Amino acid sequence: MSLNTPENTHPHDLIISRVLNVPRAALWRAWSDPDLLKEWWCPKPWVTEVKAFDLRPGGAFHTLMTGPDGASSGNPGSFLEVVPQSRLVFTSMLTADWRPATPWLGFTAIVTMSDEGGGTRYTAHVMHPDEDTCEQHKQLGFFEGWNAVITQLEAFAAGLR
């Protein structure tokens, strides 16, 4: 796992890059089917409801995460770029059909997948509009939470082979 890769050139970016022991096709399947996405999307024991999932540039992407104590986090946004089995870009800064949003936590995420060794290099590059938002995301547990979710994705996708 690398927290500060050479591509992390902007101080408002947070990056996690790991080699997962599953093929890209399985990762893509887990990512591209909303019924599968809800199985791994947020750190357990939280659960995910997929409220909107239109996998195309400008398509809605909205998840609602709910914790065992009843706390919840709604995350409406949209997909910006979709390259099957290779790259997904999504944001909380826009909603469906490029409509501007004012999210509680503004970011744009670039998820890339590429073959490496017998597995897949999976990189989550999350960009924030300013230092305060980036720091807020860190304090909310970005590295712990996103790493837990990536581990869940790997385990879940391994069962899809």
Percentage of the chain surpassing pLDDT 70? 94
Residue 161 pLDDT grade (very low, low, confident, very high; cuts 50, 70, 90)? low
How confident is the model over 71-78, as a mean pLDDT?
Answer: 95
Write down all domains in the chain, each with its CATH number in brackets: 13-158 (3.30.530.20)
pTM: predicted TM-score of the whole model, two decimal places: 0.92
| pLDDT at residue 137 in the model | 97
pLDDT digits (tens, 9 = 90+) for 1-27: 344 444 546 999 999 999 999 999 999
Q: For 22-69, give the secondary structure using H, E and C.
A: CCHHHHHHHHHCHHHHHHHCCCCCCEEEEEEECCCCCCEEEEEEECCC
User: pLDDT tens digit string along 22-63?
Assistant: 999 999 999 999 999 999 999 999 999 999 999 999 999 999
Q: What is the pLDDT of residues 83-142, one digit of tens each?
A: 999 999 999 999 999 999 999 999 999 999 999 999 999 999 999 999 999 999 999 999
What confidence score (pLDDT) does residue 6 get?
46
Q: Which long-range contacts (CB under 8 A, 24 or more apart) does 87-96 make?
A: 87/111, 87/112, 87/113, 88/31, 90/61, 93/129, 95/60, 95/62, 96/52, 96/54, 96/58, 96/59, 96/60
* pLDDT of the residue at 7: 52
